Structure 1
Amino acid sequence: MIETLAGPKAEVEDLSASALLASIRSARSDEDAAAARQLDLAARWADLHPPESIHTAAVFTDDGRYGLEHEEPIAGPGCPAVAEFCIAELGTVLGISSTSAKRLIGHALELRHRLPRLWAQVHAGQVPAWRARTVAEATIHATPSLTVEAARWVDTQVAAVAGRVGPAQLDRLVAETIKRHHLDTHDPTKDPEDGWQHVDPRHATLLSEDVHYAGTMRFEAELDIADALDLDRALTHGAETLKALGSAAPLDARRSQALGDLARTQTALDLHTQGSTPARSDDGLPIAREVVLHAHFDTSLNGLETVFGSTGRMEERHRLALLEQVKGWCGDSRTKVTVKPVIDLTAELTAPGYDIPDRIREQVIMRDRTCVFPWCTRPARACDIDHVVPFDHDADAEGRTQPGPTVSSNLAPECRWHHRLKTHTGWRYEVTGVGVYEWTSPHGHRYRRDRTGTTRFSGAAAGADPPDRP
C-alpha cells in the first residue's frame, strides 16, 4: 500500500482519469464564470464614472505609428461614455496596462448595450467571455461604424452559433456578417458592384506582438490586384537576384529578404527630392530611408545567451535582438551605424533651469526603459520626461530653494496619457531609489515600479473612501 501526503495535491493524485477530467472541466467553468463576472464589474465601474466625474471621456488615441493622430471611442454608438482617468485605477488593481483596462471596459459596454444576446449567453455560461470579447472588438472598430441597429443585427446572426464554432470560424463569421450588413444597406440606386468597394479591405499591418525567437516579425497586407501582382513580380525578381549573387537561402526566405530590400531602397514617395539629384551610396544605389533602432548588448559575462546565440535588447517594442542579426544589418553598405559611449545610469546629472539637456534625457531613458506608471510598457523614448517633484518657475525670482530641480533623481519618463493622469488627478508618486518609484492611487492602492516591472505594494483599507483630490 502506498501512502500519499494529505492536502489538495494528494486529493488530485487520488483522482481517477474520469474524475480528473471532470475536475478540469469544473475548473474551466469556474474560470469562465469569473471572466463573465469581471466583465459585469467592469461595466459597473464605468457606470460609476461618467465623463463629468473625472474630466473628459475615455478614447483610444492612435500612437502615431503610421503617422496618424486620431481618437476612437472605447465602445460603439449607443454606449455610455466613460471618464478617461477612471481607467487607470481599474487597470492597476487588475495588474494590466491602462490600454488593456480601457479595452476591457469597452468590450463590457459594447456587449451590454449593443450585443445583448451575446451578453446574456456569457452570463448564462453558454459562450466564454473571451469569445464574446472578440466579437465586441470587431463591432467596436468596424469601418464604417455600426449603428445600434446594425450591431443588434450582427448580434442576432452571431449569437446563434458563437458557442459552437471555433475561434477562427467565429472571426470569419463576424467579419462576413459585418461586410454583408454594409452591402445590404448600401444605396440601391448605385451600381451593385460599387458595394464591394463600400468596405475597403486594403491594409498593410505589422503584427508586432507576433515575434519569433529567431528575430522575425509577421507583416500582413491586402492589396489592390495590380499592386499585389507588381509586388509579387518585384519579390520574384529580388529573390532571383539574391540567388544569382550567391544566396543559398530557400526561396521564401529570399522573397522575404527582397521585401526588406524594397523597403530600404524605395524612393518613389520622397517628393522632397523632386528636381534634385537623389543621394547615392558608394555602390550607386539610393541611400536607404532612415529607420533608427536602438540595440543594447551587455559586453560582460552576464550577457543573455539563448539557443540562437548572443542576445541583446532592442528598445523598439521591447524585443530581443540577436547579435548575429545586428551584425548582418551593420554589414549592409547602406546602413549607418552609430556607437554611443556607455552611460552611467546611477550618476546624478544636473542642469540649471527647467529644460532637460539631451545627456540627462538619454540617461533617464536608458535607466527606466519605459513609462514608469504601473504596468505601462510605452517605450521611454516616446515619453515625456516628467519632473517628479514639479519645477517651481517662480522659486529663483522669489529667492526660494528650487523644490523640483532638473536632476537625474527627480526625472522620470511618462507617456503623455499617464503624465496627464499624474498632473490632473489624485495619483501621486515618489522616488525611493535609483529608477524605483512608488505610486499611490486615488483609492489608496500602492504600487512599486522599477526596471523589473510592477509590484503591488499594498491595498486600500476595506471600504475606505478615496482621498480628496487637490
Structure 2
Amino acid sequence: MKLIADAQLAPRLASCGFTAIQTEVTMAIAKYHPELLEQREKQGKKGWHVTLRHPAPGDGTSYLDVAGDTLDLTAFHHLVCDQAAALKALGDADDLGIRKAKALGVIAAQQATLDLAALTGDSGDGVTGFEPVATVPVRRRQTILYVHASLTDLLHLDRDAVGEVERLGPATLAKIRDWLGRSEDVVIRPVLDLNHWPAVDGHDPTEEIREIVILRDGHCIFPWCAVDARHTDLDHIDPYVPLDQGGPPGQTNPHNLACLCRRHHRCKTSGRWRYRRRDDGTYAWHGPHGRSYLVTPLGTIQLNND
C-alpha cells in the first residue's frame, strides 16, 4: 500500500504538501484495505463532542468546540453563514465572524419557536389545528446562572452593580439581565446560609448539603488544583462508616465533606495523601514524601521545603 501511494505521489512530489500526501494515503487505504478505513472512521467517531468553555471570566464571551460528522457540520456551517448574510442584509454592520457568532443565537431562537409551534399546533401565521410534528417532549430553553450579588445590587440602587456568576466570573447586572431576558425559563434558587450545618445519617448528602459544600469550596481543594467544584466528587474527610457497622449518626455534613476532583479523590482514597479541614476553613494536606501544604481561599502554601 505504501508503494502504491509512493507511485502516485512521485511525479508531483516537489509540489506536494502534507494534506495531499495524507489524502493519497487515505485513498490507497480505502481502495485496498477498506476495513482499515472503517476502523479509522469508528476511531474518529470516538472523538465527537460538543463542549462549551468559559475560559475568560468577566467578558461575557464563551467558546463552543464541536467535532462531528463532516456532512452534518458542513450543513450547519452553511446555515450559520446564510443567517450571518441575512443579518448583514438587515443592517448589521459587524464583521462576518461576529455575525456568524450572533447567528447561532438566532438559529437557537428560531428552533425554539418551531418547537413551541409543533407542540401547540400553531403554525405561527394564525392557522391552528394542524397535526403537531413533535413526537417527544421538547425542553424549553432554560438558563441557569448561579449569581452572587448583594441586596443593594439586586434592588438596582447601584447603577454600576456587578454580580459574580459561577464559572463565568464577574458580570454586570445588565449583562445578566440580558442573558435571562433571552431565556424562556428562568430558575431562581433560594439563598443558602453557609453557616447552617445540616447533617444526615446516610452516605449520600442531600441537595442542600451538596450545594453548601460546593459554594463554600468553589473548586477541588487538593493543593493547586483548580477544577470547578461542580465537576467534583464530595469526599468524606473522615471515612464514612455505616450505622449498622458502628458508625456515628450525622457523618454526612458540610464539616466532614469537601470537594475533590475524581483524580485527587482517588489519591486520597489510596492513602498516599491525607488531609483535614481546620477550624478556620482551610485544608491541611500531607503528601507521600513528607511534604505538607495548606489550601486556603487565596491559594496553596507549601509548609515545608525539605
Shift of the alpha carbon at 1:441?
A: 0.9
314 and 239 in structure 1: CA distance in 2 versus 1, 3 angstrom threshold = farther
2:107 pairs with 1:262: yes
Match of 2:144 in 1: 292
| Whole-angstrom distance in 1 between the partners of 2:60 and 2:253 | 37
Match of 1:415 in 2: 261
240 and 356 in structure 1: CA distance in 2 versus 1, 3 angstrom threshold = farther
Check whether the contact 1:387–1:410 (CA below 8 A) recurs between aligned residues: yes
| Whole-angstrom distance in 2 between the partners of 1:249 and 1:344 | 47
Check whether the contact 1:430–1:439 (CA below 8 A) recurs between aligned residues: yes
Letter aligned with residue 236 of structure 1: A
Give the TM-score of the pair, scaled to structure 2.
0.66
Check whether the contact 2:57–2:169 (CA below 8 A) recurs between aligned residues: no
239 and 210 in structure 1: CA distance in 2 versus 1, 3 angstrom threshold = farther
Which among 328, 345, 348 is matched to residue 197 of structure 2?
348
Check whether the contact 2:141–2:185 (CA below 8 A) recurs between aligned residues: no
Which among 327, 331, 351 is matched to residue 177 of structure 2?
327
Shift of the alpha carbon at 1:256?
A: 2.9
Aligned partner of residue 235 in structure 2, secondary structure: strand
| Whole-angstrom distance in 2 between the partners of 1:291 and 1:365 | 20
- The CA deviation string for residues 262-306 of structure 1, in whole angstroms up to 9 with x for no partner, is 2355469x9xx9xx943699x99x8744353323224468xxxxx
| Whole-angstrom distance in 1 between the partners of 2:65 and 2:189 | 34
Check whether the contact 2:50–2:64 (CA below 8 A) recurs between aligned residues: yes
Match of 2:241 in 1: 392
Aligned partner of residue 224 in structure 2, secondary structure: coil
| Whole-angstrom distance in 1 between the partners of 2:48 and 2:204 | 41
Shift of the alpha carbon at 1:249?
A: 6.8
Letter aligned with residue 188 of structure 1: A
206 and 239 in structure 1: CA distance in 2 versus 1, 3 angstrom threshold = farther
Letter aligned with residue 268 of structure 2: K
Aligned partner of residue 412 in structure 1, secondary structure: strand
Letter aligned with residue 431 of structure 1: R
457 and 416 in structure 1: CA distance in 2 versus 1, 3 angstrom threshold = same
Check whether the contact 1:349–1:407 (CA below 8 A) recurs between aligned residues: yes
Letter aligned with residue 322 of structure 1: T
181 and 451 in structure 1: CA distance in 2 versus 1, 3 angstrom threshold = farther
Letter aligned with residue 177 of structure 2: K
2:300 pairs with 1:454: yes
349 and 221 in structure 1: CA distance in 2 versus 1, 3 angstrom threshold = closer
Match of 1:236 in 2: 85
- The CA deviation string for residues 183-219 of structure 1, in whole angstroms up to 9 with x for no partner, is 4543537569x9xx9898x988768365375322344
Match of 2:163 in 1: 312
323 and 188 in structure 1: CA distance in 2 versus 1, 3 angstrom threshold = same
2:129 pairs with 1:278: no
Shift of the alpha carbon at 1:259?
A: 1.5
| Whole-angstrom distance in 2 between the partners of 1:450 and 1:264 | 43
Shift of the alpha carbon at 1:258?
A: 2.8
Check whether the contact 2:209–2:254 (CA below 8 A) recurs between aligned residues: yes
| Whole-angstrom distance in 2 between the partners of 1:207 and 1:338 | 20
Check whether the contact 1:409–1:434 (CA below 8 A) recurs between aligned residues: no
2:286 pairs with 1:440: yes
Between 1:375-384 and 1:423-432, the stretch displaced more is 375-384
Match of 1:429 in 2: 275
Aligned partner of residue 179 in structure 2, secondary structure: helix
Shift of the alpha carbon at 1:392?
A: 0.9
- The CA deviation string for residues 299-357 of structure 1, in whole angstroms up to 9 with x for no partner, is 468xxxxxx954333223x533332111111222x432222222222332222232211
Shift of the alpha carbon at 1:255?
A: 4.5
| Whole-angstrom distance in 2 between the partners of 1:381 and 1:227 | 31
390 and 255 in structure 1: CA distance in 2 versus 1, 3 angstrom threshold = same
349 and 227 in structure 1: CA distance in 2 versus 1, 3 angstrom threshold = closer
Letter aligned with residue 293 of structure 1: L
Unpaired segments ≥5 residues, structure 2: 1-16, 126-137, 154-158
Q: Which has the higher contact order (CA 8 A, sep 6+)?
A: 2
Aligned partner of residue 256 in structure 1, secondary structure: helix
Matched positions, count: 259
Check whether the contact 1:346–1:434 (CA below 8 A) recurs between aligned residues: no
Shift of the alpha carbon at 1:416?
A: 1.7
Aligned-residue RMSD, C-alpha: 4.3
| Whole-angstrom distance in 2 between the partners of 1:313 and 1:181 | 51
Match of 1:215 in 2: 60
Aligned partner of residue 170 in structure 2, secondary structure: strand
| Whole-angstrom distance in 1 between the partners of 2:271 and 2:217 | 23
2:9 pairs with 1:186: no
Letter aligned with residue 455 of structure 1: I
| Whole-angstrom distance in 2 between the partners of 1:279 and 1:230 | 26
